[in-house]
């Protein structure tokens, strides 16, 4: 059983999808710790409803990243829980060396576009504004850049003429709830390796 730690700032639908896949026995993993930078985040409430250990950890003095002390606090909490894979699920802060160095090649993120298109905030809105006909979601390894690490998996979502930012984001999130558990499962089964920027899936 791969021990997973989840970091999130939002409502927690990806965390719930992964927790359900674990509980159903679909993937050989379990979530052992959920942490959030937002004390009232839905993800903490959802996690507690599922009986998971869930805590707010203060992010420190910056707005878009954790400060060094906070990075060490997050890494420390996850290490204490025996976490082997860190899953970012709507965690809205960039992680740097003090955190990533504690989990080399063991931090993954889901992003609501087909990277490298539309990194950063509100990627579904960026896609709509740009006028693309297809967008989607991407799971990737996390490096020190913004949404820039090696891509593990992607699912495409067609943009409809009547889409608003809200309807498009909703369909991307449906895709996310399929893609993320599948990727976590493949990692838990040891079926994914990395060669430079490319990842290789084994059956």
111 catalytic per annotation: yes
Which CB sits closer to ligand GAR, 90 or 153? 90
Query: Which of 5, 7, 13, 47 lies at the binding interface for ligand GAR (CB under 6 A)?
Result: 13
The CA distance from 72 to 115, in Å, is 29
The CA distance from 114 to 159, in Å, is 12
Binding span for ligand GAR by CB under 6 A among 51-59, 71-79, 105-113, 154-162: 105-113
The CA distance from 132 to 74, in Å, is 37
Query: Which of 10, 60, 150, 165 lies at the binding interface for ligand GAR (CB under 6 A)?
Result: 10
DSSP string, 23-60: HTTSSSEEEEEEEESSTT-HHHHHHHHTT--EEE----
Return all residues near 195 (Cβ < 8 A) that are at least 6 apart: none
Query: Judged by CB under 6 A, does residue 163 bind ligand GAR?
Result: no
Query: Judged by CB under 6 A, does residue 112 bind ligand GAR?
Result: yes
Residue 181: C-alpha distances to residues 18, 33, 197 (Å): 5, 17, 22
Give the active site residue among 111, 130, 140, 169.
111
Query: Which of 5, 59, 90, 136 lies at the binding interface for ligand GAR (CB under 6 A)?
Result: 90
Using an 8 Å Cβ cutoff, are 176 and 112 in contact?
yes
Calculate ∠ Cα 142-187-14, nearest 5°.
65
Query: Judged by CB under 6 A, does residue 36 bind ligand GAR?
Result: no
Interface characters, 37-56, with ligand GAR (x: CB under 6 A): ------x-------------
Query: Judged by CB under 6 A, does residue 126 bind ligand GAR?
Result: no
Residues annotated as catalytic (active site), given as ranges: 111
Q: Please report, as ranges, the residues that interact with ligand GAR according to CB under 6 A.
A: 8, 10-14, 43, 89-90, 110-112, 173, 176
């Amino acid at each position: 059983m791969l021990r997973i730690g989840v970091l999130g700032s939002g409502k927690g639908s990806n965390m719930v999808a992964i927790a359900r896949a674990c509980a159903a026995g679909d993937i050989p993993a379990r979530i052992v710790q959920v942490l959030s930078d937002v004390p009232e985040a839905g993800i903490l409430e959802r996690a507690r409803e599922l009986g998971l250990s869930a805590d707010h950890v203060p992010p420190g003095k910056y707005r878009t990243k954790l400060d060094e002390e906070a990075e060490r606090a997050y890494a420390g909490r996850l290490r204490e829980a025996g976490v082997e894979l860190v899953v970012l699920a709507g965690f809205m802060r960039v992680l740097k060396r003090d955190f990533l160095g504690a989990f080399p090649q063991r931090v993954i993120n889901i992003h609501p576009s087909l990277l490298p298109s539309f990194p950063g905030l509100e990627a579904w809105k960026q896609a709509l504004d740009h006028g693309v006909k297809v967008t989607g979601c991407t799971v990737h390894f996390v490096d020190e850049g913004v949404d820039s690490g090696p891509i593990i998996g992607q699912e495409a979502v067609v943009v409809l003429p009547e889409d608003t930012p809200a309807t498009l984001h909703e369909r991307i999130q449906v895709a996310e709830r399929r893609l993320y558990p599948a990727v976590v499962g493949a990692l838990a089964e040891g079926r994914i390796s990395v060669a430079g920027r490319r990842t290789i899936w084994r059956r």
